[in-house]
Amino acid sequence: MISQPLKLGFLASGAGSSAQAIVAAIEAGRLAAEPRLMISNNKTAEALAFAAAHGMAALCIPTQADPLAADERLVDALTSHGVELIVLSGYLRQLGPVTLGRYAGRVLNIHPGPLPQFGGHGMYGRRVHEAVLASGALESGVCIHVVDEEYDRGPVIARRSVEVRPGDTPESLEARVRALEPGFFVETLRRIAEGSLKLPAGSA
């Protein structure tokens, strides 16, 4: 069940820019949500320091040595902090079956290109923008989708288009897309909190 205000958990491997924007929106009263927990697989992640500075529980759970144990620790931590909806904010690890089972339909990720055309294993960061430009597409976009066991396969719940301009490079396209992501995530969560955007059946 997802209740209001949204009870959010964040997973980040680096700065977690979308997570930071979401927390800022909550603190400013622009989003009806509670930031319950920040988890990173990287103990030096800026996202952990940000969370601690904002009074949020922060935890490092490395995943490489024992992925199954990490998966179980992840679920234990999220459930013990009352997390109902998970936001991936630059989390560079695939979620395990325990987490995906417990939070089926309630894990959201933002992808820097149109899905399903420019998604899948290995399609992240600048690689997405390189592929968009190589295809000759006239527009790219930002997609927020539900996470399942396959990379970028889950249902897309929100999209925003980004024009591909003449002379664009992967770097210039990436900069425009990245600038949209944090605010778009905040807007999408606000719509979920208000009830104007429904998650797929079985997730709420």
Would you name the residues annotated as active-site residues? 111
Q: Two tokens at 175?
A: 């900069």
Residue 171, class by beta-carbon neighbours within 10 Å (0-12 exposed, 13-18 middle, 19+ buried)?
A: exposed
Q: How far apart are CA 93 and CA 95, in angstroms?
A: 6
HSE at residue 24, side-chain half, CA atoms within 13 A, is 12
Q: Two tokens at 34?
A: 């509670």
Helix (H, G, I), strand (E, B) or coil at 104: coil
The DSSP call for residue 155 is: P
Tell me how far CA of residue 111 lies from CA of 118, 126, 202, in angstroms. 9, 11, 23
